């Protein structure tokens, strides 16, 4: 009896390169779902457009932000809101996979196991990239005029996407812990709703009651949205926002805080999710 | 070395909380043979397969596939095994071709080979016409065939099939049996779980009967059947009292007769002749018969013979680990 020199021997060479290949194969699989289930796309694109229109034209008239048009203030917040709400998809997708037999098959294959999680969060980066790009166009169509220049706008988008990636790993843990897709949604929503709305995404934090400001000013969505806002709208607008108390620190300060949040979230939730996935 | 078993299981135990799923399972499967694991729901069949396919770790005991330990050398084991089963572990949204190519990539086959292999398997399993349709449009039988095809992409020398035909109509079941026979003829070692004695009889070289996480009998199909009679004779009566009145008469002709409800059941070797004799004896005793059946023994009969109770009884409270499609308790 001999051990067949198939994948077993190939595998020992470079686990990292296999991890990347497996992750890409699974990310592609997850993205194909968007082309097969149109409802997923509707949920992904239509809902943020509704939010833009709602805040731009319905609520926007009553929200005053000093020295900046509301649509300029709003759009970076919308990008934040999109990726926070969108993170639910990570939890739902993983919970669905766990509930179907396909994870059993994956676990019996000589693939790098962590790729199941990385393939999911990786696919979500691509989805977020698509949605942020579309919403940028929608924003410009409704009057968004950022003055941060192309580098500032791209840096703002990049920061939002990096934050989205970190959130995906929190939601991956949620998806692995709950029993099914409905439960994933039920758990995610109460977690993400206050993070989105008790933040600087739609209104300045200094317009909120003092007790709420304590939370709203320091939570990660506010920090990331204000960093993206400062980067996209440019230094002149940012310094005005700081002068009027809308920002409590400079753009640079927000960027540093954002990076810190992203690093800490990844450092905590990547290992937790991987451990949960490997646990039987 | 060629005498080493392809699959070797020694003292395997696994608990899920309070439920004992495996309670010291021992098995040895010779290379190139088909081993049938026969038992009711919750007996431990799926748990055994999940341990052997490295999906879960056993609490105690040892299992080797092709001499490789399923815990310490899990990654090498995974490269040498295929798994298909009752839950059809495929992606509903992907097409048949995409499913097979995904498994090809995840088993680290060269890209060009993955494409060819997918075409070859689709052809072989009669799915070429449906190759580019999402699986959600497939029938149950097509889905099972694709699931089986997916387990073969990397040409594993050892294959695990967990209740491959449960829930299929007779036509699809026969198709799948033919495909499985072909694979075995090509030299694949196969461990198959089933609830059907007929399926184990048709496909397996050796059969182990598993109950409450333990192997309670093992041998060839012929040996198992010999142990309990080749056929089962059932004589039914108008009521339970009549059945009780007749059991001695039937037992005189065919030892081992037992009453259940209004029926007297006896394992027999020569069904037709014994039936004639039983009828003559009953007629002579003036006992009226309501019906008579001669049939192949079922899992139920094997169970009754081996354990003195019916197969369904074991499902009470013990079904959970085997029924959970994924992950067990998480």
Q: Where are the domains of chain A?
A: 16-278
* Cβ within 8 Å, pair B106-A109: yes
How many angstroms separate the CA of residue B20 from the nearest CA in chain A? 15
- The token pair that represents B231 in the structure block: 């056929």
Query: Phi and psi for B57 in degrees, rounded to 5?
Result: -95, 140
Residue B201: what pLDDT? 86
pLDDT per residue as tens digits for the range A94-121? 999 988 888 889 999 999 989 999 999 9
Enumerate the residues of chain B whose CB falls inside 8 A of the CB of residue A100: 87, 89, 92, 325-326
Q: What is the average per-residue pLDDT within B141-156? A: 92
Whether the predicted pLDDT of B309 surpasses 80: no
pLDDT per residue as tens digits for the range A158-178? 999 999 999 999 999 999 999
Fold assignment, B230-296:
Alpha-Beta Plaits (3.30.70)
State pTM to two decimals: 0.82
- The token pair that represents A194 in the structure block: 């206050």
User: Within chain A, where are the H helices?
Assistant: 7-13, 15-36, 38-53, 70-86, 88-99, 102-108, 115-141, 149-177, 181-197, 210-216, 220-233, 235-243, 251-278
Which is more confidently placed, B3 or B282?
A: B282
Using CA atoms, how far residue A131 sits from A93, A135, A139, in Å, is 18, 6, 12
* Cβ within 8 Å, pair B108-A7: yes
How many A×B Cβ pairs under 8 Å? 130
Which residues 15-44 in chain B show a CB within 8 A of chain A?
Answer: 31
- Residue whose C-alpha is closest to residue A277's, from A97, A7, A27, A19: A97
* Cβ within 8 Å, pair B108-A18: yes
Residue B88: what pLDDT? 62
**Which among A8, A98, A99 has the least Cβ separation from residue B80?**
A8
The DSSP output letter for A59 is: I
Q: Write down the domain spans for chain B.
A: 7-225, 230-296
- The token pair that represents B66 in the structure block: 């092709």
Mean pLDDT of chain A: 91
Question: Does A39 contact chain B (CB < 8 Å)?
Answer: no
Mean pLDDT of chain B: 86
Residue B106: what pLDDT? 94
A97 close to A116: Cβ distance less than 8 angstroms: yes
Rounded to an integer, what distance in angstroms lies between the CA atom of residue B285 and that of residue B279? 10
Rounded to an integer, what distance in angstroms lies between the CA atom of residue B8 and that of residue B11? 10
Beta strands at B189-194 and B291-295: parallel, antiparallel or unpaired: unpaired
B43 close to B19: Cβ distance less than 8 angstroms: no
Residue B252 pLDDT grade (very low, low, confident, very high; cuts 50, 70, 90): confident
Query: Phi and psi for A167 in degrees, rounded to 5?
Result: -60, -35
Residue B327 pLDDT grade (very low, low, confident, very high; cuts 50, 70, 90): very low
Whether the predicted pLDDT of B305 surpasses 80: no
B152 close to B82: Cβ distance less than 8 angstroms: yes
How many angstroms separate the CA of residue B93 from the nearest CA in chain A? 6
Burial letters B293-316, b for 16+ CB under 10 A, else e: eeeebebebbbbbbbeeebeebee
Rounded to an integer, what distance in angstroms lies between the CA atom of residue B268 and that of residue B101? 51
Question: Does A113 contact chain B (CB < 8 Å)?
Answer: no
- The token pair that represents B318 in the structure block: 């013990």
Which residues fall within 8 angstroms of residue B287, CB to CB, at 6 or more apart?
Answer: B237, B242, B245, B246, B249
Enumerate the residues of chain A whose CB falls inside 8 A of the CB of residue B89: 100-105
* Cβ within 8 Å, pair B94-A104: no
* Cβ within 8 Å, pair B98-A176: no
* Cβ within 8 Å, pair B106-A22: yes
Residue owning tokens 């833009």: A52
**Which among A3, A29, A111 has the least Cβ separation from residue B66?**
A3
Residue A100: what pLDDT? 84
Residue A50: what pLDDT? 93
Which residues 204-263 in chain B show a CB within 8 A of chain A?
Answer: none
Whether the predicted pLDDT of A14 surpasses 80: no
Question: Does A111 contact chain B (CB < 8 Å)?
Answer: yes
Rounded to an integer, what distance in angstroms lies between the CA atom of residue B293 and that of residue B194? 25
Residue B250 pLDDT grade (very low, low, confident, very high; cuts 50, 70, 90): confident
Nearest residue of chain A to residue B90 (CA atoms): A102
Rounded to an integer, what distance in angstroms lies between the CA atom of residue A131 and that of residue A45? 6
pLDDT per residue as tens digits for the range B211-238? 999 999 888 887 877 776 668 888 899 8
User: Within chain B, where are the H helices?
Assistant: 45-52, 74-80, 96-106, 111-124, 140-150, 170-185, 197-203, 221-228, 240-253, 271-284, 299-307, 320-323
CA A272 to chain centre: 18
Length of chain B: 330
Question: Does A21 contact chain B (CB < 8 Å)?
Answer: yes
Q: For A120-129, A219-228, B74-83, B313-322, which range has the lowest pLDDT when averaged over its residues? A: B313-322
The dihedral built from the CA positions of residue A207, A213, A215 and A216, taken in this order, carries a sign that is positive
Q: For A84-88, B224-228, B245-249, which range has the lowest pLDDT when averaged over its residues? A: B224-228
Which H or E run includes B160? strand B158-162
Q: For A11-15, A49-53, A201-205, which range has the lowest pLDDT when averaged over its residues? A: A11-15
Question: Does B78 contact chain A (CB < 8 Å)?
Answer: yes
| CATH superfamily, domain at B7-225 | P-loop containing nucleotide triphosphate hydrolases (3.40.50.300)
Residue B315: what pLDDT? 43
- pLDDT above 70 covers a percentage of chain B that reads 90
Residue A280: what pLDDT? 54
- The token pair that represents A86 in the structure block: 């969108």
Q: What is the average per-residue pLDDT within A267-272? A: 97
Rounded to an integer, what distance in angstroms lies between the CA atom of residue B287 and that of residue B38? 38
Length of chain A: 280
- pLDDT above 90 covers a percentage of chain B that reads 49
Nearest residue of chain B to residue A179 (CA atoms): B330
Q: What is the average per-residue pLDDT within B106-131? A: 94
- The token pair that represents B330 in the structure block: 């998480």
- Residue whose C-alpha is closest to residue A33's, from A133, A123, A115, A167: A123
B42 close to B319: Cβ distance less than 8 angstroms: yes
Question: Does B155 contact chain A (CB < 8 Å)?
Answer: yes
Which is more confidently placed, A211 or B202?
A: A211
Query: Phi and psi for A69 in degrees, rounded to 5?
Result: -70, 150
ipTM: 0.85
Residue B230: what pLDDT? 66
Nearest residue of chain B to residue A23 (CA atoms): B106
A160 close to A185: Cβ distance less than 8 angstroms: no
Rounded to an integer, what distance in angstroms lies between the CA atom of residue B164 and that of residue B189? 15
* Cβ within 8 Å, pair B79-A98: no
Residue B311: what pLDDT? 62
The dihedral built from the CA positions of residue A146, A148, A154 and A156, taken in this order, carries a sign that is negative
Nearest residue of chain A to residue B70 (CA atoms): A108
């Amino acid at each position: 009896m001999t051990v067949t020199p198939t994948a077993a021997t190939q595998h020992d060479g470079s686990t990292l390169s296999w991890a990347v290949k497996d992750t890409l194969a699974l990310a592609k699989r997850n993205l194909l779902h968007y082309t097969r289930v149109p409802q997923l796309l509707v949920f992904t694109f239509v809902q943020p457009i509704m939010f833009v229109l709602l805040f731009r034209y319905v609520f926007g008239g009553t929200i005053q932000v000093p020295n900046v048009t509301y649509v300029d203030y709003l759009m970076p917040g919308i990008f934040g809101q999109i990726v926070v709400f969108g993170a639910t998809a990570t939890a739902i997708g993983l919970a669905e996979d766990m509930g179907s037999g396909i994870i059993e098959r994956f676990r019996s294959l000589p693939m790098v196991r962590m790729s199941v999680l990385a393939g999911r969060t990786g696919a979500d980066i691509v989805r977020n990239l698509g949605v942020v790009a579309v919403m940028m166009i929608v924003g410009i169509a409704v009057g968004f005029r950022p003055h941060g220049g192309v580098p500032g706008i791209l840096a703002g988008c990049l920061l939002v996407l990096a934050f989205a990636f970190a959130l995906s790993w929190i939601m991956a843990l949620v998806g692995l812990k709950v029993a099914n897709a409905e439960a994933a949604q039920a758990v995610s929503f109460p977690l993400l709703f206050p993070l989105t709305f008790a933040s600087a995404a739609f209104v300045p934090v200094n317009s909120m009651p003092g007790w709420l400001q304590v939370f709203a000013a320091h939570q990660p969505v506010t920090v990331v949205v204000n960093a993206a806002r400062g980067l996209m709208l440019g230094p002149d607008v940012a310094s005005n926002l700081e002068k009027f108390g809308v920002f409590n620190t400079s753009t640079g300060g927000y960027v540093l805080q954002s990076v810190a949040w992203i690093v800490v979230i990844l450092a905590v939730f990547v290992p937790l999710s991987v451990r949960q996935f490997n646990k039987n | 070395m060629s005498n080493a078993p392809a699959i070797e299981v020694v003292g395997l135990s696994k608990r899920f909380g309070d439920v004992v799923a495996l309670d010291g399972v021992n098995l040895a499967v010779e290379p190139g043979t088909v081993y049938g694991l026969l038992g009711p729901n919750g007996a431990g069949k799926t748990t055994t397969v999940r341990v052997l396919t490295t999906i879960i770790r056993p609490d105690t005991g040892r299992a080797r596939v092709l001499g490789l330990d399923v815990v310490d050398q899990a990654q090498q084991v995974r490269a040498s095994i295929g798994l298909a089963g009752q839950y059809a572990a495929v992606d509903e949204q992907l097409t048949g071709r995409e499913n097979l190519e995904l498994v090809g990539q995840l088993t680290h086959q060269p890209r060009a080979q993955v494409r060819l292999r997918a075409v070859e398997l689709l052809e072989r399993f009669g799915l070429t016409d449906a190759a580019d349709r999402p699986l959600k449009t497939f029938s149950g039988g097509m889905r099972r065939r694709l699931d089986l095809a997916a387990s073969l992409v990397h040409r594993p020398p050892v294959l695990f099939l967990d209740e491959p035909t449960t829930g299929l109509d007779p036509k699809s079941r026969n198709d799948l049996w033919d495909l499985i026979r072909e694979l075995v003829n090509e030299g694949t070692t196969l461990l198959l779980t089933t609830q059907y004695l007929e399926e184990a009889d048709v496909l397996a070289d050796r059969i182990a009967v598993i109950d409450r996480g333990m192997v309670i009998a093992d041998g060839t199909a012929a040996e198992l059947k010999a142990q309990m009679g080749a056929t089962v004779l059932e004589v039914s009566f108008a009521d339970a009292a009549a059945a009780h009145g007749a059991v001695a008469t039937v037992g005189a002709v065919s030892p081992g007769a037992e009453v259940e409800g209004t029926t007297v059941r006896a394992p027999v070797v020569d069904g037709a002749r014994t039936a004639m004799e039983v009828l003559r004896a009953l007629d002579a005793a003036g006992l009226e018969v309501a019906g008579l059946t001669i049939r192949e023994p079922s899992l139920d009969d094997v169970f009754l013979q081996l354990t003195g109770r019916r197969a369904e009884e074991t499902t009470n409270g013990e079904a959970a680990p085997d029924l959970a499609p994924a992950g067990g308790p998480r």
